[in-house]
């Protein structure tokens, strides 16, 4: 009986258009994604956390909190002031800093309600847990962003191949001298690789945080290459 109703409800649901299937990301970040934005239901892994990955993840969270809800699980050390500076609306970001052993159950419950889930991964993630969470995210249309909670652990964070892997290949701070100045801006080189449409690696250079303002912006025209050229030069 209920199966029939569910099928009927699925048929009655309006067809999702392209703009509702993706979350719009700020400025230059769009170049990282084949769809121009975060596809709902995708699993994104950000590595490594230390060299700019947390800021990159927070920039993705900002895209979700603009019109929806986001949650961060298992990240007790998240810099929330930096999050606010990167455009995250803190009142739409729920935090579960210490979910304990039941982090997978907590994450699964949150996948029902939010648009983006930032998951700080505990030391070791079982492949079965990862598969189920990814499947649930896909079913609910939630972007799952996985981030290694302990940035000093060298282990691969997400045991499954994610839909998109954003890896920071280079970071360069500006503004700090020897005994003077202060940290002002960071040039971040990010490589996006993944499955299906994202299987061709894309490279992008961003200011994160940028000079003057902290919204991500392309570094310059020459460096913001998106496509084969940049990717092959990187491979070589």
Partner 1 sequence: MRSLVAWYPDWPAVAAGYPPDVAAAVIHANRVVAATEAAREHGVHPGLRRREAQGRCPALVIVAADAGRDARAWEPVVAALESLTPAVEVLGPGVAAFATRGPSRYFGGDEALALRALEEADRVVGYRGCRVGVAGGRFCASLAARLGDGAGGSGRAVVVEPGASRAWLSSRPVGALGSQYEALVDLLIRLGIRTLGDLADLPAKAVLGRFGAEGAEAHRLARGLDDRPLAVREPPPDLCVAAELEPPAERVETAAFAAKALADELHRRLAEAGLAPAVVIVEAETEHGERLSRRWRHDGVLSASALAERVRWQLEGWLAGPRADEGDGLGEAAGGLDGRGAGGVEGPGNHGRPTGGLALIRLTPEGLRTRHGHQLGFWGGVSDSDARAGRSLARVQGMLGAEAVVTAVIAGGRAPDDAIRLLPWEGGAIPAACDRPPPGAARGAHAPGVRRRDRHEEPPPWPGRLADPSPATVHSQRPGAQVQDGAGRPVAVSARGLLSGAPAALSVNGGAWQGIVAWAGPWPLEERWWDTGRRRARLQVLLDSGEAHLVTREAGRWWIEATYS
The least distance separating partner 1 from the CB of residue 28, rounded to whole angstroms, comes to 17
Q: Which of 12, 180, 199, 236: binder of partner 1 (CB under 8 A)?
A: 180
From residue 215, alpha-carbon distances to 54, 83, 173, 209 in Å are 15, 11, 16, 6
- If one asks whether residue 32 binds partner 1 (CB under 8 A), the answer comes out as no
CB burial of 29-44 (b: ≥16 within 10 Å; e: otherwise) equals: bbbbbeeebbbbbbbb
Q: Given the complex with partner 1, which of 179 and 236 has the nearer CB atom?
A: 179
Restricting to residues 143-172, name those near partner 1 by CB under 8 A.
151, 170-172
- If one asks whether residue 78 binds partner 1 (CB under 8 A), the answer comes out as yes
Q: Given the complex with partner 1, which of 153 and 226 has the nearer CB atom?
A: 153
Q: Given the complex with partner 1, which of 69 and 198 has the nearer CB atom?
A: 69
Site string for partner 1, 207-226 (x = CB under 8 A): --x----x------------
- CB-CB neighbours of 133 under 10 Å: 24
From residue 171, alpha-carbon distances to 50, 90, 215 in Å are 10, 26, 16
- Reported as type and span, the H/E element at residue 104 is helix 103-111
Closest CA to 31 of 179, 126, 164: 164
Residue 29 · residue 216 · CB < 8 Å: yes
- If one asks whether residue 3 binds partner 1 (CB under 8 A), the answer comes out as no
- If one asks whether residue 110 binds partner 1 (CB under 8 A), the answer comes out as yes
Q: Which of 16, 18, 50, 228: binder of partner 1 (CB under 8 A)?
A: 50
- If one asks whether residue 71 binds partner 1 (CB under 8 A), the answer comes out as yes
Q: Distance between CA 167 and CA 68 in Å, rounded?
A: 26
The 3-state DSSP class for residue 140 equals helix
Q: Given the complex with partner 1, which of 173 and 227 has the nearer CB atom?
A: 173
Stretch of 21-29, 178-186, 198-206, 223-231 lying at the interface with partner 1 (CB under 8 A): 178-186
Residue partners of 76: CB distance under 8 A and separation at least 6: 97, 98, 120
Q: Given the complex with partner 1, which of 100 and 227 has the nearer CB atom?
A: 100
Phi, psi of 64 (to 5 degrees): -80, -40
Residues of this chain that interact with partner 1 (CB under 8 A) are 49-55, 58, 68-69, 71, 76-85, 90-102, 104-106, 108-115, 126, 128-129, 132, 136, 151, 170-173, 176-186, 209, 214
């Amino acid at each position: 009986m209920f199966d029939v109703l569910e099928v009927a409800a699925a048929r009655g649901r309006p067809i999702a258009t392209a703009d509702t299937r993706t979350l719009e990301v700020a400025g230059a970040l769009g170049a990282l994604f084949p769809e121009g934005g975060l596809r709902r239901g995708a699993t994104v892994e950000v590595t490594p956390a230390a060299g700019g990955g947390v800021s990159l993840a927070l920039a993705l969270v900002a895209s979700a909190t603009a019109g929806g809800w986001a949650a961060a699980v298992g990240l007790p050390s998240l810099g929330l002031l930096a999050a606010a500076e990167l455009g995250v609306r803190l009142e739409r970001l729920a935090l579960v800093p210490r979910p304990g052993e039941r982090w997978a159950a907590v994450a699964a419950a949150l996948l029902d309600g939010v648009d983006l889930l930032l998951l700080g991964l505990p030391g070791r993630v079982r492949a079965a847990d990862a598969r189920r969470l990814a499947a649930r995210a896909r079913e609910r249309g939630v972007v799952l962003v996985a981030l290694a909670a302990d940035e000093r652990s060298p282990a691969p964070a997400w045991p499954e191949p994610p839909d998109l892997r954003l890896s920071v290949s280079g970071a360069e701070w500006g503004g700090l001298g020897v005994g003077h100045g202060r940290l002002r801006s960071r040039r971040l080189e990010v490589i996006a690789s993944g499955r299906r449409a994202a299987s061709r690696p894309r490279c992008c250079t961003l200011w994160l945080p940028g000079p003057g303002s902290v919204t991500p912006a392309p570094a310059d025209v020459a460096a913001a290459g998106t496509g084969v050229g940049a990717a092959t030069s990187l491979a070589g």
